[in-house]
Amino acid sequence: MWRFGVPALALACLLGTPSEGFAQWRRPRGATPALWAGLRGGRDFENHAWSAGAQLGLQLQDRFEIRPSGDYFFGDQTPFRWQLNADGVLAFGPGRAVYGGGGAAFTRVRPLDAVKTGYNLFFGLAFAPPVAPARAFAEFRWTFVNQTSPFRLVLGLSRRLSR
């Protein structure tokens, strides 16, 4: 229950949070999507491993972003060596300070020396307004792959590349 219940409950709470109306959510006609790039680092608390990685963000609508990312894991106890993510992110609340999402995960599992697929669920906090040229973030992430779902805390900084 705890393995799937807590992330599912957190995602349900985020999805149930009221936000602006749909007319205010759409991107103005003719506006180009914003492109973000950043570095991130984190800690896998289940496998006692640190990670370093990078991410891109393509803001398609005012509150929706496609965010591919990749992480490399350090340590001998972790079964993961690297992980690539294809995530979708939905922002909530005033100033889009809270976000949540999920997507596909592609992980190299060391004992099997094979790439396994799974999925991600996460939510996070952005520490700058959406119009800022750079924004720091903290993300709470679960990856469900190979009969495991480690909890990860990811911290990072993204910079706007285009308007």
Task: Decide if 149 is inside a domain.
Answer: yes
* Structural domain harbouring 68: 2-14+39-160
Task: Decide if 28 is inside a domain.
Answer: no
Report the CATH number that the domain containing residue 54 is assigned in CATH.
Answer: 2.40.160.20
* pLDDT one-digit tens code per residue, 50-71: 999 999 999 998 889 999 999 9
Adjacent-strand bridge partners of 51 = 42, 73
Task: Decide if 135 is inside a domain.
Answer: yes
How much is the pLDDT for 78?
77
Low-confidence ranges of the chain (pLDDT < 70): 1-32, 111-112, 163
Written in H, E and C, the secondary structure of 7-46 is HHHHHHHHHCCCCCCHHHHCCCCCCCCEEEEEEEEEEECC
Q: Mind giving me the DSSP string for the chain?
A: -HHHHHHHHHHHHHHTS----HHHHSPPTTPPPEEEEEEEEEEETTTTEEEEEEEEEEE-SSSEEEEEEEEEEE-SS-SEEEEEEEEEEEEESGGG-EEEEEEEEEEEETTTTEEEEEEEEEEEEE-S-TTSSEEEEEEEEEEEBTTB--EEEEEEEEEE---
Task: Decide if 26 is inside a domain.
Answer: no
Q: What percent of the chain is modeled with pLDDT above 70? A: 79
How much is the pLDDT for 113?
75
Task: Give me 123's structure tokens.
Answer: 């939510």
Task: Decide if 54 is inside a domain.
Answer: yes
Task: Decide if 137 is inside a domain.
Answer: yes
CA dist., res. 36 & res. 71, Å (int)? 17
Total number of domains constituting the chain: 1
Task: Decide if 71 is inside a domain.
Answer: yes
Task: Decide if 143 is inside a domain.
Answer: yes
